[in-house]
Structure 1
């Protein structure tokens, strides 16, 4: 077994390589960046793809939140981690962001594999690692559209998905599907949005390499969920969902989450999680919400709870307590009076956007 030689004033001893790995994988990214300078072997280890994956997997349950706030027409950006007392510690990172008023109002954010994809209204696209502060400018595609992305270990590349209006086309309802590969550093058009459907909603979501889109069938006006496989770059069959009135789709714990309401009582909101491996839905929560509540699930928290963002309350963050079966407000020290524009969850990673 390989060992690392460590010396101190009293004696010399070697630490087994696997123990070194176990220790380092528990550390935050900021510490690992500093430790690159300890020795050549540590530098090589921390840059190793297998170690980067092991470190990411170890921290999968350590969700962080990237928060975009606005106060007195000034935008601020934070990373946040909830501690055991439900108090958030805040850090203002140097975000590669366009501060212009025009761009700020229409910025899109999504995350994958610890990397954030930030898309501006002026068609500037950036991949950014909030832990290492490394960023990559993506070539401009067409004007406007909705974006999301996913990492594919098999080809060691990210793919960015764009759904947006066709350029120089008189049909306003027709939308192109474009894909960008970080390996080729090029965009390509792979098709159009199916003409038998109307696109519903204001966003697209990504889970397990599949793009999910809410849509309405033109023939009968029924709501459905369309699936696009980003790996094969083709549409799949519609995704059947439970007997509920669908309203929104999100991603929680890297799984597709459907929000619906009971047929018999629209005040009871249901949250369903899609399990791709078994092609089944699991209802994780059913709760009665006040008329002015609008909850977006963000992540799972300890003891089976769920963290939400509430769009219609001054207490923006609320946590579902699985023991009391109630929603509890979450105090965010230092953000009182701020207007929350966006909240994105991510896991710290050493991964680079330059793949």
Structure 2
């Protein structure tokens, strides 16, 4: 291709991208209608015309509008207990996991399958439309709306912790990986992967700043206010003053520690064999970090982190669960229309209305234990 053809191709791409912004700015009604549709429907509209194609796939303004709408209507992804194992798979994807996607009422059911090389260890809650999960040595990024999966570069050492966040200023996801430098080390090496589809560079970036604590590998991290939060490993937390949470700001890429609330009841005195019924959970609710403590056959307390730097917590609500069977009270997944939604160790979702102080249950055709929440997104995972 000669120089004139290169210039012509570059101009064509520039014009096409401008067409998408032009459509969003001058066809507000069309953009408003399309932004209310699910991703599956929008993928079919790619073929309507070039303007719609570039708006749906390339216009950040439209994608942000679509996310703001889908964020109000989260979806649940249930991992079924069975999985397929094929040791003779030619491409090496020996493990196939089956998922069921529904809305928050257990309706609009869709099936989904994920194939990986190693067993899946942990799936994080959705972050701006993307799910991140890990095996022993590799982290994967998945968009359940488009059913695209991206395997990030692997590492020889086992992963000691990971998290994901979204930096709105650059409109990019950042995945954080924690790995031990030495088997006996109490500090963790931190690497960051910036998800930038279509751009050059596909590697982890090792930071000089290390994670000061081992993190709890059996509890989920939470992301809020440009910060990822992990619970500190229980054994280390007992010997390290009142430090309870280690945080990582994805903008400044710095670690901090946070203490627990003053009237928090340590779960170390409870039965460690009941991680669901007696648990302390970190979760993002309405854009802020919350800590949920669930005591079996007793109550659920919800704290909100009011001041990150000074570790100031505010208890926003507390409600009894003595009349609810312990199997129905799992971990908090999200809050919608004033209701806090719990998963459970049964086939039920549990809903608590904060204003009316009432419970209701919803029966599902499958277990509600292995559950994560996400919102639909048009984010591309194409390299």
Question: What range describes the TM-score normalised by the shorter chain of this pair?
Answer: 0.7 to 0.9
> Secondary structure, in 3 states, of the residue corresponding to 1:136?
strand
* Alignment check: 8 A CA contact 2:161 2:217 kept: no
Provide the residue aligned with 2:218 in structure 1: 202
- Alpha-carbon separation, structure 1, partners of 2:359 and 2:52: 45
- Alpha-carbon separation, structure 1, partners of 2:358 and 2:64: 36
Provide the residue aligned with 2:195 in structure 1: 182
Q: 1:324 deviation in Å?
A: 4.5
> Secondary structure, in 3 states, of the residue corresponding to 1:177?
strand
- Alpha-carbon separation, structure 1, partners of 2:230 and 2:163: 11
> Secondary structure, in 3 states, of the residue corresponding to 1:67?
strand
* Alignment check: 8 A CA contact 2:78 2:371 kept: yes
Provide the residue aligned with 1:192 in structure 2: 210
Q: 1:69 deviation in Å?
A: 1.5
1:240-259 → structure 2 map (5 Å cutoff):
241=261, 243-245=263-265, 247-259=280-292
Provide the residue aligned with 1:346 in structure 2: 374
TM-score, normalising length: structure 1: 0.78
1:19-30 → structure 2 map (5 Å cutoff):
19-30=29-40
- Would you identify which runs of 4 or more consecutive aligned residues in structure 1 move more than 6 Å? 276-280
Provide the residue aligned with 1:225 in structure 2: 245
Provide the residue aligned with 1:272 in structure 2: 303
Quote the RMSD (CA, aligned, Å).
3.3
Q: 1:119 to 1:199 in 2, by over 3 A?
A: closer
Q: 1:128 deviation in Å?
A: 1.4
Provide the residue aligned with 2:107 in structure 1: 88
How many residues align structurally? Answer: 321
* Alignment check: 8 A CA contact 2:167 2:250 kept: no
Provide the residue aligned with 1:135 in structure 2: 149
Match of 2:126 among 111, 124, 128: 111
TM-score, normalising length: structure 2: 0.73
Q: 1:134 to 1:245 in 2, by over 3 A?
A: same
CA offsets 1:176-215 (integer angstroms, 9 cap, x no match): 2222222442213323331xx5644623322222121223
Provide the residue aligned with 2:100 in structure 1: 78
Q: 1:22 deviation in Å?
A: 1.3
Higher helix share: 2
Structure 1 unaligned regions, length at least 5: 3-15
- Alpha-carbon separation, structure 2, partners of 1:45 and 1:206: 29
Highest RCO, 1 vs 2 (Cα 8 Å, sep ≥ 6) = 1
- Alpha-carbon separation, structure 2, partners of 1:33 and 1:277: 40
Provide the residue aligned with 1:5 in structure 2: none
> Secondary structure, in 3 states, of the residue corresponding to 1:96?
strand
CA offsets 1:239-258 (integer angstroms, 9 cap, x no match): 56453226332223443120
Q: 1:173 to 1:221 in 2, by over 3 A?
A: same
Q: 1:221 to 1:298 in 2, by over 3 A?
A: same
Provide the residue aligned with 2:71 in structure 1: 60
* Alignment check: 8 A CA contact 1:108 1:120 kept: no
Q: 1:261 deviation in Å?
A: 7.0
Match of 2:176 among 161, 173, 179: 161
Higher strand share: 1
Match of 1:213 among 230, 234, 239: 230
Q: 1:202 to 1:282 in 2, by over 3 A?
A: same
- Confirm whether residue 305 of structure 1 aligns to residue 305 of structure 2: no
- Alpha-carbon separation, structure 1, partners of 2:193 and 2:83: 37
Q: 1:165 deviation in Å?
A: 2.3
* Alignment check: 8 A CA contact 1:110 1:148 kept: no
> Secondary structure, in 3 states, of the residue corresponding to 1:238?
strand
* Alignment check: 8 A CA contact 1:110 1:344 kept: yes
- Alpha-carbon separation, structure 2, partners of 1:316 and 1:275: 32
